[in-house]
Chains A and B, each alone.
Chain A
Amino acid sequence: MILSSAAPAARSTDRFGASWEGRRVLVIGLGRSGSAAARWLHQVHAHVCITEARDTEATRQAAQELRALGIEDIELGAHSRALVDGADAVIVSPGVPESAEPIHWIVERGVPLLSEVELAFRFCPSPIVAITGTNGKSTAVMLLADVLRAAGRPAIACGNVGIPFCHVLPQLTSETVAVVEVSSFQLMGCETFRPKVGVLLNIGTNHLDRHRDPAAYLEAKARLFQRQTPEDWAVLNGADPHLVALGESLRAQRVWFGDNRSNSSAFILAPQTQRALAPGAQAVLQAARILGVADPLAWQVMRAFRGLEHRMEFVGTVHGVQYVNDSKSTTPDSLLFALKRTPGPVVVILGGRDKGMDFHSVITPLHDARVKGIVLIGESRARIRPLLNGSTIVHECGSLAEAVRTAGTLAEPGTTVLFSPACASFDMFKNFEERGRAFKRVVQQL
């Protein structure tokens, strides 16, 4: 009797000693992270209600699963004000825009607004490494988790990489390390979130449709470090002057990576290390050092690391031409990043759903002599084409299969065909994963 009542009571209490038992918590959005948050809240005996604007098969199925666990109050297809009015706290999914109606109601009523990451943080017994940035987050998270595991520290990769932070909470102990990928949207609702190590990889102009201006975006990213104390660590990209400036204002110990010859701070990487590793890998190395993993071991793991699917994934060589799948690229910044990481002559396949992004940043790099061909696909091709005026190497294709074949004819042996769409996939595919798999299938049939 005593045992059974003592254990759950401890779980209902978060790191600040507050009990969540019986508290009314509203979860907005029933995506992966929303569902995970709802499940965790249910486990800590909070009274969970859920509201989701979309009423689709996917959301109905998610609702079904949660009802089976005993979560009753689930609203699909609309948001009703009554739910917000009765809530003690609200968890917002990263997919919900700041302009959504319930967000206004919440701000109006002054209900505490938390992100899923913030919720998980309040219950997380492990030291946390949080990685954010515009590009290369997922790879860095997976790589760091690999390095830590190789060093005998059980590490769990979670967050945006696929498994929500809340979902892995039951597996975490004080011995494990939580390596969390955090997007800037999730940082919006992070009031007390304080990672032991915060990593900011880079700042691009990505997601500007959601963030009004770059300064605000930078500020959103800087929230990662807001609650840190001098016992915590901030790993920053020293090559970016914005981040060097940001570093000045942080309370955490600052550690640097990235090429910047004039950086004379403490905790920078030796020049030979900077030359040998990509910036993302340098960041992982620095974070691993902080967590007590020695350099030789980290290097060993990095050399063996194969990379992630759809992120600069090497597909194969056909007639001397290398095919690279970077379907994860949904912004011009990602395309820039991919171009930088591709050596030698290159044929680029890009295009997809037009999110209204500004493509001017990629125009100059696409006019580079090293770009031997540009193949446009999808809805956005009509908008990109005029920007590339004067270029004789631009081709338009109606399907991905045709695009890959066209790219193959443009590419001489030794060239890389880079599939980095710089646009969302929803015009032709369900998601970027499906798009990437389609690309790989076509390449394999060549």
Chain B
Amino acid sequence: MTPRRLRQLLLVIITALLGLGIVAVYSSSAMASEATYGGSVHFIVNHLVSIALGLAIGGICLMIPYDRLRMSGRWMLLASVVLLVLVDCFGQEVGGARRWFRIGRLSLQPSEFAQLSLVIYLADLLARRSANLKELWRGLMPPLLITGMTAGLVLIQPDLGTTIAMGAVALLLLAVAKARWQHLAWVVGLASIALIFLIAGEEYRRRRILAFLDPWADPQGSGYQILQSYFAMADGGLMGRGVGASLQKLFFLPSAHTDFIFAIIGEELGLVGTTAVIALFGLFLACGFRIALAAQDLFSKYLVCGLVGMLGLEAMVNMAVVTGMLPTKGLPLPLISYGGTSMIMNLIACALIFQASRHAERFDPTQSALGR
């Protein structure tokens, strides 16, 4: 398939996911909106505004010269580190965690921005340092330290889910950039040990793991949300109850329009609907990695890999959580869930994938300022 065809297919997939998301978000949030804001449209309007903002910013990204974009990665990362420090100190506290800034109707989640910036900057760094990546101190350490610092700021919010997601994307990039596998094995090993300590050290994290292992042990406590998610999907059956007919969204299933929207899709559209979502994300991954393979320069390759990996990983983790294959983590379903910053960042990521793919067609190594 030509890059042009791939882009067209990607556009269709993204449109389908967004469309499905709009329907699902409206269906699952109308009641909650009615109660809190006196009209059924509060959340869906926010959702549409986020999409519009994401498309607009994505459109601007498409117009920025590619080299400029590449150079801006470091400044974006610097800005997001500053934002993360600020949110750690002054952010709005929700449920014991400081993750958000409230700006009017929308709330801003710096960790989403940080994740995007980190991918852009790592792609740039790894492309420049690809020659000595096999050396531990000069090659591997800089990207690891930068990832560790950014992820560490997210971890103290606390937001273990996003931290793990950042680390996983960084590892993916290091692997694609052909770092020594012995080095990576050490990194994974050490990170796993740290993870075990992090989970064991916090009561609520331990409980989430226990609830994951046996939700029926405490059906009205830690297992509550995942069991209600099961019931939603079980009631949906093969064809679902029909759009808008979800019963679980009547406040039985917490986070119905955000993290657990996949369960509502399962209830309303059945196995057919959930399979379609999985298929769309599968196609998205396939298209994305084909674009990465077709890329002519290392930065484009790493950038597309990182962005596609980031979105694909989030989607897989979210669906795995909702179906009980992973412990509960507060991650939205990309391009579908309600969630302002996350939707905007997802769409910017998509725009960057397009940008990289277009660049690959025009690419001429002798003309590139960064072809050193």
Contacts and interface: CB of A to CB of B under 8 A. Distances in A.
Contacts of B234: 266
Interface in B229-251: 231, 234-235, 247-248, 250-251
A264 B250 contact: no
A257 to B, nearest CB: 11
A297 interface: yes
A293 B31 CA distance: 8
B247 A267 contact: yes
Interface stretch (B214-222, B281-289, B338-346): B214-222
A297 B35 contact: yes
Given A290-B250, A293-B35, A295-B35, A264 B221 contact: no
A292 interface: yes
A271 B224 contact: yes
B250 A266 contact: no
A114 interface: no
B254 interface: yes
Contacts of A263: 219-220
A253 B247 contact: yes
A296 B248 CA distance: 16
A267 B224 CA distance: 10
B51 interface: no
Interface in B116-175: none
Interface string A284-296: 0000011011111
A266 B220 contact: no
Contacts of B223: 264
Contact of A292 (B31, B248, B252): B31
B34 interface: yes
Contact of A296 (B36, B218, B247, B254): B36
Contacts of A271: 220-221, 224
A261 interface: yes
A235 to B, nearest CB: 12
A297 B33 CA distance: 11
A205 interface: no
B308 interface: no
Contacts, number: 59
B254 A264 contact: no
A274 B34 contact: no
Contacts of A82: none
A289 B250 contact: yes
A234 to B, nearest CB: 13
A264 B252 contact: no
A contact face: mostly helix, strand, loop, or mixed: loop
A293 B34 CA distance: 9
Contacts of A18: none
Given A294-B31, A294-B32, A289 B251 contact: yes
B227 interface: yes
Contacts of B219: 261-264, 268
B251 A294 contact: yes
A295 B34 CA distance: 10
A294 B227 CA distance: 21
Which one of A260, A262, A264 has the highest number of Cβ atoms from chain B below 10 Å of its Cβ? A264
Contacts of A266: 227-228, 231, 234-235, 248, 252
Interface string A276-306: 0000000000000110111111000000000
A270 interface: yes
A289 B220 contact: no
A157 to B, nearest CB: 22
Contacts of A293: 35
Interface residues of B, number: 23
B231 A294 contact: no
A253 B36 CA distance: 27
Nearest to B251: A295
A261 B220 contact: yes
A253 B267 CA distance: 15
A269 B251 CA distance: 9
A270 B254 contact: yes
Nearest to A233: B247
A197 to B, nearest CB: 12
B338 to A, nearest CB: 16
Contacts of B36: 294, 296
Contacts of A261: 218-221
Interface string A231-273: 0000000000000000000000100000011111111111100
Contacts of B227: 264, 266
Given A289-B250, A292-B250, A274 B32 contact: no
Nearest to B252: A267
A269 B224 CA distance: 9
A292 B33 CA distance: 12
B31 A270 contact: no
Interface in B193-236: 216, 218-221, 223-224, 227-228, 231, 234-235
Contacts of B224: 268, 270-271
Interface string B242-274: 000001101110100000000000000000000
Interface string A213-234: 0000000000000000000000
Contacts of B216: 264
Nearest to B235: A266
A236 to B, nearest CB: 15
Nearest to B220: A271
Nearest to A260: B220
Nearest to B228: A266
A292 B235 CA distance: 19
A262 B224 CA distance: 11
B251 to A, nearest CB: 5
Interface in A362-408: none
Nearest to A238: B220
B40 to A, nearest CB: 10
A270 B255 CA distance: 13
A294 B34 contact: yes
Nearest to B230: A266
A388 to B, nearest CB: 38
A147 to B, nearest CB: 11
B246 to A, nearest CB: 12
B241 to A, nearest CB: 11
Which one of A253, A265, A267, A292 has the highest number of Cβ atoms from chain B below 10 Å of its Cβ? A267
A266 B229 CA distance: 9
Contacts of A274: 220
Contacts of A262: 219
A268 B231 CA distance: 11
Interface in B342-359: none
A182 B325 CA distance: 46
20 contacts: A253-B247, A261-B218, A261-B219, A261-B220, A262-B219, A264-B220, A264-B223, A265-B231, A266-B234, A266-B235, A266-B248, A267-B228, A270-B220, A270-B224, A289-B250, A292-B250, A293-B35, A294-B32, A294-B35, A295-B35
What are the 9 A-B residue pairs with the smallest beta carbon separation, nearest first? A294-B35, A264-B219, A266-B231, A289-B250, A296-B35, A295-B251, A271-B220, A297-B35, A294-B31
Given A269-B220, A270-B254, A293-B35, 6 more contacts: A261-B221, A262-B219, A264-B223, A266-B252, A292-B34, A297-B35
Interface of B: 31-32, 34-36, 216, 218-221, 223-224, 227-228, 231, 234-235, 247-248, 250-252, 254
Interface of A: 253, 260-271, 274, 289-290, 292-297
